[in-house]
Every structure is written in structure tokens, then in C-alpha cells.
Amino acid sequence: MKILVTGAAGFIGSHTCERLKGLGHEVIGLDNFSAYYNLELKHLNENALNKKNISIIKKDLRDNAFAEALPKDINYIFHFAAQPGLSSTSSFEDYLSNNVIGTKNLIDYALKLPDLKLFVNIGTSSIYGLEATFAETILPKPASYYGVTKLAAEQLVLQKSREQLFKSCSLRLYSVIGPRERPEKMYTKLIACAFNNTEFPLYNGSATHLRSFTYVGDIVDGITSVIGNDAKVNGEIINLGTEVEHTTQDGIHAVEKIVGKTIKINNVEARAGDQLRTKANIDKARKLLNYNPKTTLLESVKAQVEWYRANFL
């Protein structure tokens, strides 16, 4: 199959590209190399993909000209590209243009593909709101610009299934961790603080927040399993993550145990819109995709520490 992956130089997108290539597919990556976070990491990911003969087209989905650089015989689209997370440096317009307008432009491109089998939107548990412990049928209550615009993007994609213009699904991911995690995310920041003897900024009250910390390899298992299940997943929203919950404090202790150092903590003001609890309800994923994540928190952290040590020390 010929597969397009947007956001290919990012954390989960780059891992998905590698897995798809390993499964024998032809992979075309697309990324705008946004300066939202240090470009050094994105280029590190790009170099890893290039070594496996996966090239990345440098285009922005907000620029209609991106479609001119892409082939017209794509069979699958995996859409990761987005303005991610909660950030005081990102405006509403950043979230709107990247997550909604960019997705709409990609849909317009997809509508012209004669051999498209499935458009896979990569969603997020942030769509659910401050607590994400529910089945996919629950009414979403996003509490951030990120969650609101990702919900809008998801519905734009699924609309095309309802109109029977192409098959699509949306995968809502839960607290993904592992090698290549973005530098502003919890575990990469914790590991950096441990090795560099600097303070970790802990948001007030967040030590007891519960998360379904899910290893990136387990997430990619679920993502790639939709291939060949086009009719089964068409029009569906599917949660992907682990059912095992850990607190933020558990995560801190896990990094300390693997690195062998105590991390200095600096308590800072809480973030608006931060989720209090996530626990992936994966009954549908088990039923439709035989999904079964198995990697433990300590195994995940160990892999991430080894990646950080190999690339940044």
C-alpha cells in the first residue's frame, strides 16, 4: 500500500512511519517542521526515517499548494499533523488554523484520490474534557482550545464517512510516552531534569492527576491495525491506550528509579484545561482491532531514558 503520514517528523508520526515501512508499505511523510518545539528533535527523527528510506516532504497543510507535491495514488492517510497540547505561547488562531483549516485542506486533497481506502484521523483523549474515562459514545466536553479544535477536526473527517465520500475513522490516543516524546512533555522533561540536575516544574495539584501512560509502541500497534479493517472501522471513533492508571507522582518515581537520581521539584501555577484523570476505555478497540497494550510504565520509561541518553548526553 502507498501511505501518507502527516506530522511524520513528530513523536508518534515518526514511529508510525517506521512501523508501516517495516510492514512492507510505501510511506510518504509530510511535515511543516513548525518551530513550536526545538527543530533539533524533528530533524533527529527525520534522519532516523531517512536511514530507512522514508523521505519527508516539507509542506504546510495550511498552504493549499501542499497537494501539488503529493502523489495521487495514496491508499491510506494517517493524519497526525496538529498544533498540540496546552501552551501559553499558542494562540486560538494557531489551534484553529493547524487543527481545523489544515485538516479541511487535507480532506479536500483526499477527496481527489481515486484509490483511497481509509482516512485515519489521529484524535486525542483531550476531546473528552477534564476527565477521560469514558466509552466513545459519551458527549465530549473539551476544556481547552486544543480539545475543541481536535474535536472539530475529527468531525470534519467523519463527516465524509457519513456522506459516503470516503471511509474514515478517528483514533483517540491517551497520554503517549516513550522515545522521541516532545521536549515540553512530562517524561522527556523529567529525564532532562534528572540528568542535568535542574528543577522539574510541577503544576500545583498535578501530582495526584491520573493518566493512562501508554507506550508509543503499543499505540502504534493499534494505529496500524486499522489497515485491512477499512469497512469494520469506517465511521468509528476508537480509543487507544492502556487501562492501567498512574499518578504524575508515580511517573516521577519511575524516572528516578531508572535514572538513579532524585529529581528536584519546583511547584508552579496550575494550567487551565489540564485533565484531572484519563483512563482509556478500550472495549471497542479490543472488539474491532484485537487491541491489547502490554508495556508497563517502568519498561516505557526505561526505553525513553535509553533514547535520551543515546541522543542528548
**Confidence band of 36 (pLDDT split at 50, 70, 90):** confident
Quickly count: other Cβ atoms within 10 Å of residue 281's Cβ: 21
Q: What pLDDT was estimated at residue 37? A: 77
Residue 270 confidence (pLDDT) above 80 = no
Distance CA 197, CA 195 (A): 6
**Confidence band of 88 (pLDDT split at 50, 70, 90):** low
> Euclidean distance between the first and final Cα of the chain, in Å?
38
Question: Does the fold of domain 186-209+244-280+296-312 match that of domain 2-173+215-241+282-289?
Answer: no
**Confidence band of 35 (pLDDT split at 50, 70, 90):** confident
Mean pLDDT of the region 78-89: 85
161, 167 contact by CB (below 8 A): yes
* Half-sphere exposure for 215 (CA within 13 Å, toward CB): 17
For CA atoms 171, 175, 181, 183, give the dihedral sign.
positive
Q: What pLDDT was estimated at residue 273? A: 67
Residue 249 confidence (pLDDT) above 90 = yes
Mean pLDDT of the region 28-46: 92
Catalytic sites, residue numbers: 146
Nearest Cα to Cα of residue 24 among 222, 227, 190: 227
Residue 154 confidence (pLDDT) above 70 = yes
Residue 205 confidence (pLDDT) above 90 = no
Fold adopted by 186-209+244-280+296-312: UDP-galactose 4-epimerase; domain 1 (3.90.25)
**Confidence band of 57 (pLDDT split at 50, 70, 90):** very high
Residue 188 DSSP SS3? helix
Q: What pLDDT was estimated at residue 95? A: 95
Residue partners of 265: CB distance under 8 A and separation at least 6: 199, 200, 202, 252
Among 48-62, 84-98, 190-204, name the one with the lowest average pLDDT: 84-98
Fold adopted by 2-173+215-241+282-289: Rossmann fold (3.40.50)
- DSSP character at residue 97: I
Residue 11 confidence (pLDDT) above 80 = yes
Q: What pLDDT was estimated at residue 224? A: 98
- What residue spans define the domains of the chain? 2-173+215-241+282-289, 186-209+244-280+296-312
Residue 208 confidence (pLDDT) above 80 = yes
What is the signed CA dihedral for 207, 15, 217, 221, rounded to 10 degrees?
Answer: 130
Mean pLDDT of the region 220-244: 98
Nearest Cα to Cα of residue 189 among 41, 19, 59, 50: 41
Q: What pLDDT was estimated at residue 268? A: 86
Residue 56 DSSP SS3? strand
The amino acid at 143: A
226, 118 contact by CB (below 8 A): yes
Mean pLDDT of the region 47-58: 97
Quickly count: other Cβ atoms within 10 Å of residue 48's Cβ: 18
Residue 299 confidence (pLDDT) above 70 = yes
Distance CA 106, CA 257 (A): 43
